[in-house]
């Protein structure tokens, strides 16, 4: 179980009309993610989704509030300590490395060297080619291939909690269905609490709970049907004139 208690991430604006002002990118989130459930987080660009994922993984430190994982306060833990506690993060833009093969990368990420176990991991992400292990993880890989590698290194750790930030970025439409199925299977077979940040309806439909972030808060928590009117609204800008004492940078002066 992952508990977010009055969680804030605040920065000081460096430029523009709001320069020098404090801005809450995450503005007081309270939420409990239940074990083994599938959550989809969606919301407008810049609403704070990636920042929230980075706070959970420990890439960013909370300005205020608390993060608890399976009963323990992890707010002060490093990324490595959180990874050891069973939290894994799939990046929106996975790294590419010159001169490293998929076998090297997977072994480094998981400590597994046994060929049969590595091939089993390939199978889990839907790669049915034996030669893939010795492919270079470089600029020549397609967006879909690099994403599968990212998924393989994440699920290989058998995390208790897996967070994927827009795993469908750069993926063709035909790959999204199998990717949703893969993450659902991991959720069900390994009881992985799964949080996927995505705008894709296939992920939103697969989720037990849809969360919509707006201006650093959960503006909606519920099923997809209830979220649909708000999703339709996402294409509309929500800039508002600033009021007295308003510290929100999304308002104009
Ligand atoms: N470390 C930071 N310092 C200042 N601003 C940041 C920082 N990280 C993110 N932001 C800003 O916070 C907002 C939310 O960013 P992000 O969480 O990446 O949004 P999303 O993933 O929902 O598109 C954006 O306006 C972004 O520019
Ligand atoms: Mg993002």
CB 79 within 8 A of CB 86: no
pLDDT, residue 184, reads 94
How many angstroms does the Cα of residue 198 sit away from the middle of ligand 2?
Answer: 9
pLDDT, residue 136, reads 83
Give domain 2-252's CATH number out of 3.40.50.300, 3.30.70.1340, 3.40.50.20, 1.10.3720.10: 3.40.50.300
Instruction: For a ligand 1 pocket test, name from 25, 47, 168, 216 the mutation site with the most ligand atoms within 8 angstroms of its C-beta.
Output: 25
Q: Whose CA is nearest to atom 18 of ligand 1?
A: 50
Q: Write out the DSSP string of 39-83.
A: EEEE--TTSSHHHHHHHHHTSS--SEEEEEETTEE-TT--HHHHH
Rounded to the nearest 5°, which phi and psi values hold at 235? -75, -10
Confirm or reject: Cβ of 49 under 6 Å from ligand 1: yes
Confirm or reject: Cβ of 216 under 6 Å from ligand 1: no
pLDDT, residue 238, reads 56
pLDDT, residue 41, reads 96
Q: Give per-residue pLDDT as tens, 34-70.
A: 999 999 999 988 999 999 999 999 999 999 999 999 9
pLDDT, residue 247, reads 58
Q: Where exactly are the structural domains of the chain?
A: 2-252
Pick out the chain residues at pLDDT < 70: 16-18, 91-97, 139, 173-174, 233-253
How many angstroms does the Cα of residue 86 sit away from the middle of ligand 2?
Answer: 22
- Name the DSSP class of 236: S
pLDDT, residue 144, reads 75
């Amino acid at each position: 179980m992952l508990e977010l208690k009055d969680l804030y991430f605040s920065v000081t604006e460096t430029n523009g009309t709001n320069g020098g002002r404090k801005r809450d990118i995450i503005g007081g989130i309270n939420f409990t993610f239940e074990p083994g459930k599938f959550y989809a987080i969606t919301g407008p660009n810049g609403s704070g989704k990636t920042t929230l994922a980075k706070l959970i993984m420990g890439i960013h430190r909370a300005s205020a509030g608390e993060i608890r994982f399976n009963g323990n306060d992890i707010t002060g833990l490093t990324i490595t300590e959180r990874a050891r506690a069973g939290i894994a993060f799939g990046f929106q833009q996975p790294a590419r490395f010159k001169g490293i093969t998929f076998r090297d990368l997977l072994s480094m990420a998981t400590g597994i060297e046994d060929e049969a176990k590595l091939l089993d991991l390939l199978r889990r992400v839907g790669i049915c080619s034996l030669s893939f292990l010795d492919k270079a993880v470089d600029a020549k890989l397609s967006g879909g291939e690099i994403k599968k590698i990212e998924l393989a290194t994440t699920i290989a750790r058998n995390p208790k909690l897996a967070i994927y930030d827009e795993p469908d970025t750069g993926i063709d439409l035909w790959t999204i269905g199998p990717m949703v199925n893969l993450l659902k299977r991991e959720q069900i077979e390994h009881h992985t609490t799964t949080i996927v940040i995505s705008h894709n309806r296939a992920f939103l439909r697969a989720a037990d709970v849809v969360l919509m972030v707006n201006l650093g808060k959960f503006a909606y928590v519920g099923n997809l049907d209830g979220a649909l009117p708000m999703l339709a609204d996402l294409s509309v800008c929500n800039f508002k004139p600033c009021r007295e004492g308003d510290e929100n940078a999304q308002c104009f002066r």
